[in-house]
Amino acid sequence: EALILSPSFLYRTELGPNTLVADAAGNYPNTTLTPYEVATQLGFLFLNSAPDAALIAAACDNSLGTTAGIAAQTTRLLALPEVKANLTNVFINWFSLGQLGDKANKDTALLGGLPAADRDQALIVADLLTSAQQFINDTLWTPSGKITDLATSQKVFVNRRLATLYGVPFTGGSPTTFVAATWPATQQRIGLLTQPAFLWSVSASAETSIVKRGQFIHDDVVCQDVLPAPLDLSTPEAKAIIAMGDSEITKSDARMTKGVVCSFCHAHMDTYSRLLQNFGPIGNYRTLDEMNRPIDPKVTFIRSTPLGEQTINGPTEFAQALLTTKVLTGCAVQKMSSYVIGTMVRKYDTCEIKDLRTQFDQSNGSVASLFNQIAQANFVRARAGGVK
């Protein structure tokens, strides 16, 4: 009992060598993780568990005190199936797909394309999560395995229920079997941002929610600094703007153009989601909005956005812009670094992340390269001093 309740059993330590000496005020100097602490860090990072025998051995012989030793262990771990499964789930959470279980709340009228027996939303969201997991797993761990493939792959994984709901030919034998398919060209789908799982997750129950989708993409897909809190929305001007419009698009038009109360933030958020308006609240492809008006997915971005001043038409051009501006890969570096250190980095231009972005730009762009570079970065093992 004493062993199990001891702090060294219950907690991960990140204190550095036990030879550190505090100053007169009791403050310890800045330090670096010991090889055993690095082993624990890598174990929980890649295995989501305590370090395995090989990590312990690498700590024991002090090879985890060197970047070469860390690189060797990272390369070994990234080849393990359980590590690939764990990191696939990390990407699932990056794109907010882990919350799908709480999203079985869509307007039932949106499910009219399914037989009545297939409209159980708890089962649908479970299918969507499986579909997303298979998409991300296939994208990240096939031979190319590039982060940019998340934005460009036109694959989808469907069982019969999802194939029926989203208009994809189903080639599986059993109705519950998931098979790879390619989106019909008429649906203009490309990458994870047009996968039904993502669109279902970031939409409201009966509408697309341009604001919700846009804020998520702004904050978590292009990793822009968090926008300031809205100004007083109880003023007559704000109330008048909020009351304008009779559809998602016309309401967005008002927010983006009518006065400073709303325009700055919404010019930086709504633009992203308007590119995806051809996809409804459940991720269904459509050409008419909720008011039966034709949808125009063309958007002009302002200069201060990370995509720069340009006009983009629909998801395919959007995906290309994410690649040419390196915004998606830059965000991946920031998000995965946050995961590794256990603290969300919300500032885009931190020096450490900026250096990693430069390194990643010079790599082959694979997820393996990304995690190798992050694991070897000095800041990942550095710890600030202070009072213990």
Q: What is the pLDDT of residues 368-377, one digit of tens each?
A: 999 999 999 9
**What pLDDT sits at residue 7?**
59
Contact yes or no for 278/287 (Cβ under 8 A): yes
| CA of residue 208 relative to chain centroid, distance | 19
HEC sequence for the chain = CHHHHCHHHHCCCCCCCCCCCCCCCCCECCEECCHHHHHHHHHHHHHCCCCCHHHHHHHHCCHHHCHHHHHHHHHHHHCCHHHHHHHHHHHHHHCCHHHHHHCCCCCHHHHCCCCHHHCCHHHHHHHHHHHHHHHHHHHHHCCCCECCHHHHCCEEEECHHHHHHHCCCCCCCCCCCCEEEECCHHHCCCCHHHCHHHHHHCCCCCCCCHHHHHHHHHHHHCCCCCCCCCCCCCCHHHHHHHHCCCCHHHHHHHHHHCCHHHHHHHHHHHHHHHCCCCECCCCCECCECCCCCECCCEEEECCCCCCCCEEEEHHHHHHHHHHHCCHHHHHHHHHHHHHHHCCCCCCCCCHHHHHHHHHHHCCCCEHHHHHHHHHHCHHHHEECCECC
**What pLDDT sits at residue 340?**
94
Mean pLDDT of 15-31: 82
Mean pLDDT of 65-94: 97
Half-sphere exposure of 134 (CA within 13 A, CB side): 16
Mean pLDDT of 153-181: 97
**What pLDDT sits at residue 297?**
97
pLDDT tops 70 at residue 101: yes
pLDDT tops 70 at residue 388: no
Long-range contacts of 50-54 (CB under 8 A, 24+ apart): none
What distance in Å separates the CA atoms of residue 53 and residue 39, rounded to the nearest whole number?
Answer: 10
pLDDT tops 90 at residue 384: no
Q: Of the ranges 259-263, 275-279, 288-292, which one carries the lowest mean pLDDT score? A: 259-263
**What pLDDT sits at residue 16?**
79
Task: Enumerate residues 6+ apart whose C-beta is below 8 A from 270.
Answer: 210, 211, 214, 252, 255, 256
**What pLDDT sits at residue 194?**
99
pLDDT tops 90 at residue 185: yes
CB-based burial, 93-106: b 16+ in 10 Å, e otherwise: ebbbbeebeebeeb
pLDDT tops 70 at residue 315: yes
pLDDT tops 60 at residue 9: no
Q: What residue has token string 């730009």?
A: 361
pLDDT tops 90 at residue 13: no
Mean pLDDT of 44-72: 97
Mean pLDDT of 340-345: 92
Q: Can you give the pTM of this predicted structure? A: 0.91
**What pLDDT sits at residue 26?**
82
When the pLDDT of each residue in the chain is averaged and rounded to a whole number, the result is 93
**What pLDDT sits at residue 10?**
59
Distances in Å between the Cα of 253 and the Cα atoms of 205, 224, 245, 266, 310 are 22, 22, 8, 9, 18
**What pLDDT sits at residue 234?**
82
pLDDT tops 90 at residue 110: yes
**What pLDDT sits at residue 12?**
66
For the record, the structure tokens of 216 come out as: 């998520």
Mean pLDDT of 319-333: 97
pLDDT tops 60 at residue 316: yes
Mean pLDDT of 71-82: 97
What distance in Å separates the CA atoms of residue 330 and residue 327, rounded to the nearest whole number?
Answer: 5
Q: Which of 155, 140, 163, 167 is nearest to 191 (CA)?
A: 155
What distance in Å separates the CA atoms of residue 249 and residue 271, rounded to the nearest whole number?
Answer: 11
Residue with the bigger pLDDT between 253 and 310: it is 310
